[in-house]
Amino acid sequence: MRTATELALVLACASLAALATWKIAGPPSRAVVCDPAKIAPEEICLATVQAEWPAGSFLWVDARPAAEWKLNGIAGSVPLTLTGETSFDEQVEASLEKLGTAQRALVYCGSAGCGTSKEVAKRLKGLGFIPEVRALHGGWDALKHAGLVKDSSPAN
């Protein structure tokens, strides 16, 4: 019984300390940390894109499910996903006009941990008609934190 009381006391103190820290310092940062030296070669940081890729000089490629792209995809983006009823090749064919004229493409998916953007970037690069194809490190989370998009959940 004494052990349970001590454990409850320790948990109460830890909870109060955590609450005090939250009130003083604020909630934890949700920023997507991106160090160009530590990311995969096929990825790129949003800060690098913003600094080195002028607006309009690249094509956004949305690798999220088609329903999410329809809900709130970036204006002018092309949907290319690995899920759904339409094959990747059919999606490429449907977007060939935009893809065929792009010099750069930036692929994003639904979250920082999503690997779909890397796979879509790899497949798109393998087609050979876009000179530079990169996956956005952090995906939708990086875009959302930067204030460039709104949340992708249908409830918002």
pLDDT digits (tens, 9 = 90+) for 107-135: 999 887 788 999 999 999 999 999 999 99
List the domain boundaries for the chain. 1-29, 43-145
What mean pLDDT comes out for the span 45-67?
95
pTM beyond 0.75, yes or no: yes
pLDDT of 84 > 90? The answer is no
End-to-end CA gap in the chain: 47
Distance CA 44, CA 134 (A): 6
- At 13, the pLDDT band (50, 70, 90 cuts) reads confident
Look at domain 43-145 and name its CATH class.
Answer: alpha beta
What mean pLDDT comes out for the span 68-81?
94
What mean pLDDT comes out for the span 85-97?
94
Distance CA 141, CA 34 (A): 12
Which residue, chain included where needed, has tokens 């952090």?
Answer: 138
Local structure of residue 76 (DSSP, 8 states): T
